[in-house]
Amino acid sequence: GESVGLHLPTLSVQEGDNSIINCAYSNSASDYFIWYKQESGKGPQFIIDIRSNMDKRQGQRVTVLLNKTVKHLSLQIAATQPGDSAVYFCAENAGGTSYGKLTFGQGTILTVHP
Amino acid sequence: SQTIHQWPATLVQPVGSPLSLECTVEGTSNPNLYWYRQAAGRGLQLLFYSVGIGQISSEVPQNLSASRPQDRQFILSSKKLLLSDSGFYLCAWILQKETQYFGPGTRLLVL
């Protein structure tokens, strides 16, 4: 079936660097994408979302880029901090009558070194 | 504001015992509700979702069942737990937009 996957399972950066986490999706019908951050032992926390009619969306220190041509999604974190260390998941919603169901990628472990 | 609760936070159960995990949402009405399971170091697998009271859809065949006795209450159950039921169980909700918001999760260990 359709799936969402990640290019890199782990990412290590130095504090202050910019981080880029990538995600590939295969369902061309997906029209809504979300990035979540999950800290150890906690539920996923919403970071930022983007609809398929957009290419870029910015939040506080985070930017999500969507390339529909190659079905690629990325999360950019500016000035990465130790508190950003977590597992990051992308998720897609195929819309229509999918009742809000999301398909999640495997996740990328981000480690920020002070 | 809306909040979502799950309990218990952790649970250790013997194989063959029953299970009941509860999820409740506050501050909203008629949300879509979801149960996910997450194995250690893995992604989230959707187990069940509900669009209203008494309406349950199962995503994967398994040893678990779900019920929605009230608008803001979602229950995950099992009559006899298996070792493979161990994992981190997450409840989530949606109101109007497609963003799902997750609860704190229940960590289940079946021995």
pLDDT value for B96: 61
Q: Which residue of A has its CA nearest to B98?
A: A100
Give just the sign of the alpha carbon dihedral B66, B69, B72, B73: negative
Element (H, E) at B19: strand B19-26
pLDDT value for B79: 96
CA-CA distance, B84 to B109, in Å (whole number)? 9
pLDDT value for B106: 97
pLDDT per residue over A92-110, tens digit each? 987 666 677 888 888 999 9
Residues 54-83 on A with a CB inside 8 Å of B are: none
**Contact flag B98-A45 (C-beta cutoff 8 Å):** no
Digitized pLDDT (tens) for each residue of chain B, 111 residues in all: 779 999 999 999 999 999 999 999 998 888 999 999 998 777 899 999 999 999 999 988 788 999 999 999 999 999 999 999 999 999 999 876 678 899 999 999 999
Residues of A with Cβ-Cβ distance to B31 under 8 angstroms: none
How many cross-chain Cβ pairs, A to B, lie less than 8 Å apart?
Answer: 52
pLDDT at position A7 over 50 = no
Give all strands (DSSP E) within chain A, no chain letters: 4-5, 10-14, 19-25, 32-38, 45-51, 56-58, 62-67, 72-77, 86-93, 102-104, 108-113
pLDDT at position A75 over 80 = yes
**Contact flag A104-B44 (C-beta cutoff 8 Å):** yes
CA-CA distance, B89 to B104, in Å (whole number)? 9
Asked if the C-beta of A24 comes within 8 angstroms of chain B's C-beta atoms, the answer is no
CA-CA distance, A53 to A55, in Å (whole number)? 7
**Contact flag A42-B104 (C-beta cutoff 8 Å):** yes
pLDDT per residue over A13-59, tens digit each? 999 999 999 999 988 888 899 999 999 999 999 999 999 999 999 99
Q: What is the 3-state secondary structure (H, E, C) of A74-107?
A: EEEECCCCHHHCEEEEEEEECCCCCCCCEEECCC
**Contact flag A106-B42 (C-beta cutoff 8 Å):** yes
Mean pLDDT value across residues A56-66:
97
B6 closest CA partner among B60, B70, B74: B74
